[in-house]
Amino acid sequence: MVDLKHNIRLNYIPTLLVWSIFFSFYTIQAQPTKPLSFIQVGLGAQQPFLDLAKDYGSNLNLNASVGLKWNKHWISGIGFEYLFGTTVKQDVLYALRNDVGYVTNNEGYPADVRITQRGFQVYFKWGYQGNLFSDHVFWVFTPAVTYLEHQVYLYDVEKKVVALQNESIKGYDRLCNGLGIRNEWGIMYLSKNRLSNFYIGFDATFAWTKNQRRFAYGIGELPHSTRRDALAGIRCSWILPLYTSAEHSFYK
């Protein structure tokens, strides 16, 4: 039987996208001028706090977003962030270890199992920007509504540990997700040649998440109370503005 809670969590992403489309169309009706659009891709690093810091260490992330610059000050966008890291603080394979601490494969030999962290965020942001130093440099502040998901990623290199295959792996991955808020503060530079464009800044996320697994091997039933997960970090990205030279003059 498919886990009902697992299905419910998948509905968060379409909900965020529907709301973002609604706000975008509403703003388009209110704006007399065509917005400037841009694509943003980059790399970041984050440190966990609160409940999340009990489970994981710092992470790196790949991020991408599509944005609209409505006029001289207002911007909005939809973003995606893929999180990955190597520090997992809980021994999630405790129930599989033998007396000397090894996880053994189906043949009784020590198994090669990699334990890492994975996660992602999907968010809709809407913010304000102002000129800084020149007409091409802007300070940016963008609050956002976000969906955060994280879990322990277990990779059985030889694929010989039956307990880590198919549905059984859910008893070890500690999957959590939920909605939250996110803020970004940074500096954006937009040039006329479309290539020398970048963003550098800070981001912070606070999310109310819950365990999506009912139990974990070696622990038993998992609490379904609300977690308070937080992340803070830095990020830099390259921006591809989709404008003509004539359009660019309006947005200075």
Tell me which DSSP letter residue 77 carries: E
Domain range enclosing 14: 4-25+41-250
CA angle 44, 46, 49 (to 5 degrees): 165
Residue 30 lies in a domain: no
Q: What is the mean pLDDT of residues 112-128?
A: 96
Residue 221 lies in a domain: yes
Q: Report whether pLDDT(163) > 90.
A: no
Q: What is the mean pLDDT of residues 2-20?
A: 48
Residue 36 lies in a domain: no
Chain segment 199-246, per-residue pLDDT in tens: 999 999 999 999 999 888 877 888 788 999 999 999 999 998 876 544
Residue 32 lies in a domain: no
Q: Report whether pLDDT(247) > 80.
A: no
If one counts the domains in the chain, the total is 1
Which two structure tokens, joined as six digits, stand for 156?
């059985």
Residue 143 lies in a domain: yes
Name 89's Cβ contacts closer than 8 Å, sequence gap at least 6. 54, 55, 56, 57
Residue 155 lies in a domain: yes
Residue 33 lies in a domain: no
pTM: 0.82
Residue 34 lies in a domain: no
Determine whether 160 is exposed, middle or buried from the number of CB atoms within 10 Å of its CB (0-12, 13-18, 19+). middle
Q: Which CATH number is 83's domain given?
A: 2.40.160.20
How far is residue 205's CA from residue 200's CA, in Å, rounded to a whole number?
Answer: 17
